[in-house]
Structure 1
């Protein structure tokens, strides 16, 4: 393909099907995730972070304060499944960064809290994460483009 700024846009000029736009968004989001996600995850593994979502978990628990956060609430906030969050929580607990306890009341719910070792850990992770994001995404978008794209993407899950 020609390396011209409008070359890719011209590929879409003949789309007659109105549903194709949404399809293209979906598949391009998947491709972006695959092309940049692996490199970002590799950079995080170099500092002992098993998965990029660990940053989000630690950040939300930091925001929750000493009372912690119920796993069910964290699942909803991060748009993740109970199984995946349980697996990540177990690994974070093995690292010594969080603790878990039974939630008060009936049921099998858990509350997650940061340990002393976990406090501020998200900032260490963010230093690596933000550098990788800047290299992979920030170098390709202007500040205005980045904020506009973020606003549009938020509408997809808000």
Structure 2
């Protein structure tokens, strides 16, 4: 279809296409999120997970697995979010050094406002290029790529 002599190049084409799509969309998303006080897009996912966990909070190890982030990167984001007054940490009792993340009062409902920003930016980039049905077809294929 693309004139490739080796059909296995299709895997590389998918990878690089995803990278380019990310690079074209993220600058606008980053600007819009920073206007809401969100320094990094991953903060939305952390806020969402903590909100979904409710009063029990979310364990750092569960966040690490959910977000596919190495521990050091997640710790850095958590420290910055804590400094921004969005979350607080609580040491988990028992062996080990586990921590539980809770939303602060300032962050209650913030993920909902941030989602509106995300949605507007995503739709601005994709709605003219994909129908809703095509978006769901793409999602179905992309979800198969998760480990």
Among 55, 59, 63, the alignment partner of 1:74 is 63
Q: Is structure 2 residue 94 aligned with structure 1 residue 102?
A: no
Runs of 4+ aligned residues of structure 1 deviating over 2 Å after TM superposition are none
Among 126, 133, 136, the alignment partner of 2:122 is 133
Ranked by relative contact order (alpha carbons within 8 Å, sequence separation 6 or more), the top structure is 2
* Displacement of 1:107: 1.5
Q: Which residue of 1 is the match for residue 28 of structure 2?
A: 39
Q: Is structure 2 residue 9 aligned with structure 1 residue 23?
A: no
Among 87, 103, 113, the alignment partner of 2:102 is 113
Deviations, residues 59-87 of structure 1 (Å, cap 9, x unaligned): 11111111111101101011111111111
Q: Is structure 2 residue 44 aligned with structure 1 residue 55?
A: yes
Describe the SS at the equivalent of 2:90.
Answer: strand
Q: Which residue of 2 is the match for residue 151 of structure 1?
A: 140
Whichever of the two has the greater Rg, that structure is 1
> CA separation in 2, counterparts of 1:137 and 1:75?
29
> CA separation in 2, counterparts of 1:87 and 1:130?
26
Q: Is structure 2 residue 86 aligned with structure 1 residue 89?
A: no
* Displacement of 1:126: 0.9
> CA separation in 2, counterparts of 1:29 and 1:148?
15
Query: Is there any run of 5+ residues in structure 1 with no aligned partner, and where?
Result: 1-9
Corresponding residue pairs, total: 147
Query: RMSD across aligned C-alpha pairs, in angstroms?
Result: 1.2
Query: Is there any run of 5+ residues in structure 2 with no aligned partner, and where?
Result: none
